[in-house]
Amino acid sequence: MLKILKYSIYDLLRSRWSYIYFIFYLILGFVLLFLNTDIDKAIITLLNIIIVLTPLIGTIFGVMYYYNSREFTELLLAQPIKRKNIFLGQYIGVSLSLSLSLLIGLGIPFVLYGLFKSASIFDFVLLIVVGTFLNFIFVALAYNIALRTENKIKGFGFAILMWLMFAVIYDGVFMISLFIFNEYPLDKFALIATMFNPIDLSRILILLKLDISALLGYTGAVFQKFFGTSFGLLISLSVLTLWVLLPVWSIMHISGKKDF
């Protein structure tokens, strides 16, 4: 698995798209800090970009890498190598390469602008941790879709639809539900519903740590009471970890039964 992981990372490092992804975050970090030297405000702006862009890039890269390396994967399957090692190695390689591009691309400008001397260093670390979680989650979800769909066009279509569901549609349905049933106590419903969307959960975690929970609106006080505590943070990170582990288990399950 480690050899396959190393090959996957090396293969992606040779891809121009990995460099484009890295350069995008590098330029974005410098531009934000050049326009506004306040690191807190730069992190808030980055939040709005990372929460949407990172899942999208993870989804596209996951599907694209699976389909482009399918012939090589079939060659590996003909060797005495466990299937789970092949797919886990590829999955971890893609997720790590995207996470490194995010970390290094944003880390360089923030370090040069005095991140280590700022009180916002923990907020920046949380932003990177959340971005890494989103990479691992959506690459895993994309791999699940690709494993179930032989047709490339359908695979890309389902993957984009999945991203739209979490990034746009889910929020719309959630807000309409709160508006329709606003006469009922919806505190627990809002907390539970948030757990079923890793994008919303990640956004709330960072907003609360930046002390701008008033932006959360109706359920802001509830979120502050739960997510703002150490226990709430632990539960939230545990749920994000679960969002990683369940799709990974599904990858192992599908790949073990799938006829290639």
pTM of the model: 0.88
pLDDT at position 134: 94
- Dist. CA 194–CA 203, nearest whole Å: 10
Q: Which residue has the tokens 């690459």?
A: 139
Amino acid 29: pLDDT: 87
* Residue 231: burial class (beta carbons within 10 Å; 0-12, 13-18, 19+): exposed
What's the confidence (pLDDT) of residue 80?
79
In angstroms, the first-to-last Cα distance of the chain is 19
pLDDT value of residue 211:
58
pLDDT of residue 63: 93
Collapsing DSSP to helix, strand or coil, 78 comes out as coil
Mean pLDDT in consecutive groups of 10 residues from the start of the chain, 260 residues: 74 76 88 80 81 91 88 80 83 89 90 80 87 94 91 91 91 80 73 84 75 52 64 82 93 79
Enumerate the H helices of the chain as residue ranges.
Answer: 2-13, 16-35, 39-68, 70-77, 83-112, 121-148, 152-164, 170-180, 187-195, 198-209, 220-227, 230-257
**pLDDT at residue 52, rounded to an integer:** 87
Predicted pLDDT of residue 159: 93
